[in-house]
Structure 1
Amino acid sequence: MGAISSCNSASDIILNSDVVHVAFGVDTNYFRGMGVNITSIVKNNPDMVFIFHVFAFSITDDSRRRLEELERSCNTSIVIHLLHTDILSEFSQFPCFSQHPLGTFVRILIPNLLHGITDKVLYLDADILCMGKIQDLLSVEMKNCIAAVVHDELETTVKTQVAALHLQHHEYFNAGVMYIDVNNWVANDIQNKALIILSTQELRFADQDALNVVLNGHTKFIDEKWNYRYHLVDFLSKGGTRLNVTEPFVFMHFTGPVKPWQAWCLHEAKSIFIEYQLMSSWADMPLDQPKSTRELKLFSKFLIKQHRVAEGVGWHMKYLWMKFIHDVKKYTKS
């Protein structure tokens, strides 16, 4: 069995400098976010020609149908690449491959899988919305760099991870947006080096840490507008509901446990997300309800912070009940 199978004709994927290749690595929970992300890119860049590459280890019939519908409605190209687990067989004996879902490793694999198809690829996490033109990003001078990236949080993540990973160049990037020179990536064996790091070291941020180690000194840092991280839980935990943006941005990246496609995201970002969702083939899909004890607890906290105390107490009771059931099951198993 091969490592990858594409669901579209190979003749549709051509090496063409006028085409912008955008890639995603997703699991079941992120197809909706990715679909809305694609919609936002196309709607804000109507004069550009895109091929969107979707890499996943599995896909439901519903997600496949929605992607095909999106391809038609947006008049764009979406190529589904189904990965087989044997693509990682060389590293499967290492503990990290049982500790992390397979989706953790996908973005490390993408450039090699697109080698010979495109010279450059824009990798994006699924939990991003495009709010503007991306042409300037594609014009970034890469020279001998392997990827154009954006610093992670300078006062927190960058400080801790530069020290923890012993990075010679005191730089640390967020891997949610990477504009990658595919040929340089392959020539420098980044995939293999990153997988070895991921397999043999204890890492706080898994694949992102591994990529920072092997790409250290080989990246070009670009403006924050290309990966504007917005940690919704921070604002909601303080009772904030409005979009608090101090600088213009193109890609807004919703980092953290709260996403705008969740019904319990009591923030203006949810309304913005819904606007794009209604233009996508996920228009009929209801927002996600809180499912886990963590989500129930966060939802109750957000409600109380917004002075909706009775509702907050009600959801907190649901959280306590679910936690009780979970603890009972855990106790009986032990």
Structure 2
Amino acid sequence: MTQENSIQNIAVTSGDDALHIAFGVDSSYFRGMGVAIASVIKNNPEMRCVFHVFAFSVSDDSRRRIAQLATRYAININIHVLNPDVLDEFREFPCFAQHHLGTFIRLLIPDLLQGVAKRVLYLDADLLCLGPMDELLSMDLEGCIAAAVHDQLETTSRTQIAALGLPVAEYFNAGVMYINVANWIAHDTQVKALTVLSTRELVFADQDALNVTLNGHIKFIDNKWNYRYHLVDFLSRGQKTLDVIAPVVFMHFTGPVKPWHDWCLHEAKTIFIGYQNLSAWHDMPLDQPRSARELKLFSKFLIKQGRTLEGIGWHVKYLWKRSAVSQKMLRKK
């Protein structure tokens, strides 16, 4: 069943044996979240899960689909609509002006679930569950604030450890975090992370802020829990099949290309569609390329896969779009 909860009155009766899973989403990620939930249920049919959807606004269509998903699988999905005023004191800072408010929701979730869940699994909405999660139920989190996975060791981690001046040379990807709620709150993580966001220039916004705040308090776990798959890298090389050997629990599609993009010419799109067909978003068409950047990438992917004439046609559309945007900007001046 679905429940609509205000932040002042969150009430969930689920028992200690349920795994609480939380998403923080904005309007463009509800489909991804719904399909992610369907993939969790498909690959963990015996696990008791309680889902939490945190957002600053939820459309009627999204509410309807969430209710359908909850009914179809007889699961508990709690919708938590946040008051945008919660971040008012930070809005004057550049970092908050550069990103959608939804970017910062994951900083708020553990405090909001105090008294509801002892642990919460936070998931980004651009991932799929591809395996069983039962190991989480027995994972020891007592000596840490959260369990997470190292970000790319040769790229992001190396640069950000140095840039942020992290005392402990560790940097995690915040797209999947298994959080000890009591320890998070005792560390005053929310306030500390928001303060970092408002006082420092950061490349990866809230992820950088969390790495500064939680440095030395993270339990690092196997990559299978947050296997980053940067689709644009594979497609830019003309590769269109999934390149994974080891078992994966969560495949996280980082970067500008998502598997719900119709212009994602990769096997990941087929896998995504399979899970979308199990969700309440089964009738939603995939996203077409819209921005100049998306048009340019699509034309590049087509050419890399030998579809040269199609690629040239989409490159022409990219040039037209870029010209139209430039003219619009000139008129504004």
Do the two structures share a fold, i.e. TM-score over 0.5? Answer: yes
Cα distance in 2, alignment partners of residues 123 and 167 from structure 1: 23
**Separation in 2 of the partners of 1:135 and 1:195?**
32
CA distance in 1, matches of 2:238, 2:227: 21
How is 1:67-82 mapped onto 2 (pairs within 5 angstroms)? 67-82=66-81
Residue equivalent to 2:127:
128
Where do residues 1-334 of structure 1 align in structure 2 (5 Å cutoff)? 6=5, 13-14=12-13, 16-334=15-333
Distance 1:98 1:304 in 2: 36
- 1:148–1:222 contact (8 Å) kept in structure 2: yes
* Alpha-carbon spacing, 1:11–1:239, altered in 2? closer, same or farther (3 Å): closer
Q: Report the Cα offset of residue 11 of structure 1.
A: 7.9
3-state SS of paired residue (1:154): coil
How many residues get paired? Answer: 330
Do the aligned residues in 2 keep the contact of 1:22 with 1:121 (CA within 8 Å)?
Answer: yes
Deviations 1:288-310 (A, max 9, x none): 00010000000000000000001
Structure 2: tracts of 5 or more residues without a match: none
What is the CA deviation profile of residues 128-178 of structure 1, one whole-angstrom value per residue up to 9, with x for unaligned ones?
A: 100110011232111220000000000000000000000011000000000
Whether the aligned pair in 1 keeps the contact of 2:7 and 2:112 (CA below 8 Å) is no
Q: 1:327 to 1:135 in 2, by over 3 A?
A: same
**Residue aligned with 2:330, SS:** helix
1:12 shift after superposition:
5.6
- Partner SS state of residue 306, structure 2: coil
Give, in whole Å, the separation in 2 of the partners of 1:97 and 1:222: 30
Q: Determine if contact 1:123/1:179 at 8 Å carries over to the other structure.
A: yes
Give the 3 Å change call, closer, same or farther, for CA 281–123 of structure 1 in structure 2.
same
1:15/1:116 contact within 8 Å kept: no
Letter in 2 for 1:43: K
1-side partners of 2:11 and 2:76: how far apart?
Answer: 8
Shift of 1:62: 0.5
Letter of the 1:210 partner, please give it: A
C-alpha separation in 2, matches of 1:60 and 1:328: 33
CA distance in 1, matches of 2:93, 2:289: 33
Cα distance, 1:32 vs. partner?
0.2
Q: Is the 8 A contact 1:14 1:118 kept in 2?
A: no
Residue 89 of structure 1: CA displacement?
A: 2.4
Range with greater deviation from structure 2 (13-22 or 151-160):
13-22
Deviates more, 1:188-197 or 1:48-57: 48-57
- Check the 8 A contact 1:229/1:253 in 2, yes or no: yes
**3-state SS of paired residue (1:225):** helix
SS at match of 2:155: helix
Residue deviations 1:55-112 (CA, integer Å, cap 9, x gap): 0001111011000000000110111100011111232332322222101110000000
1:167 aligned counterpart, secondary structure:
coil
Q: 1:17 to 1:139 in 2, by over 3 A?
A: same
Structure 1 gaps of 5+ residues are none
Change (3 A) 1:273 1:8: farther
| Farther off after superposition, 78-87 or 300-309 | 78-87
Distance 1:305 1:323 in 2: 22
Task: Report the Cα distance in structure 2 between the residues aligned to 1:36 and 1:122, rounded to whole angstroms.
Answer: 17
In 2, Cα distance between equivalents of 1:263 and 1:25? 24
What one-letter code is carried by the residue in structure 2 that aligns with 1:109? L
Aligned pair in 2 of structure 1 residues 327, 11: CA closer, same or farther (>3 Å)?
closer
8 Å CA contact 1:175–1:208 kept in 2: the answer is: yes
Q: Which amino acid aligns with 1:186?
A: I
| Secondary structure of 1:246 counterpart | coil
In the alignment, the residues of structure 1 paired with residue 329 and residue 89 of structure 2 have an alpha-carbon distance, to the nearest angstrom, of 35
Change (3 A) 1:15 1:183: farther
RMSD after superposition: 1.5
Retained in 2: the 8 A contact 1:8–1:79? no
State how far apart, in whole Å, the 2-side matches of 1:234 and 1:215 are: 30
Which secondary structure state, in structure 2, belongs to the residue aligned with residue 78 of structure 1?
A: strand
Q: Give the aligned residue type for 1:61.
A: D
Q: Name the % identity.
A: 63
User: 1 CA distance for matches of 2:52 and 2:88?
Assistant: 23
**What CA distance in whole angstroms lies between the structure 2 residues aligned with 1:114 and 1:241?**
40
Matched position secondary structure for 2:108 = helix
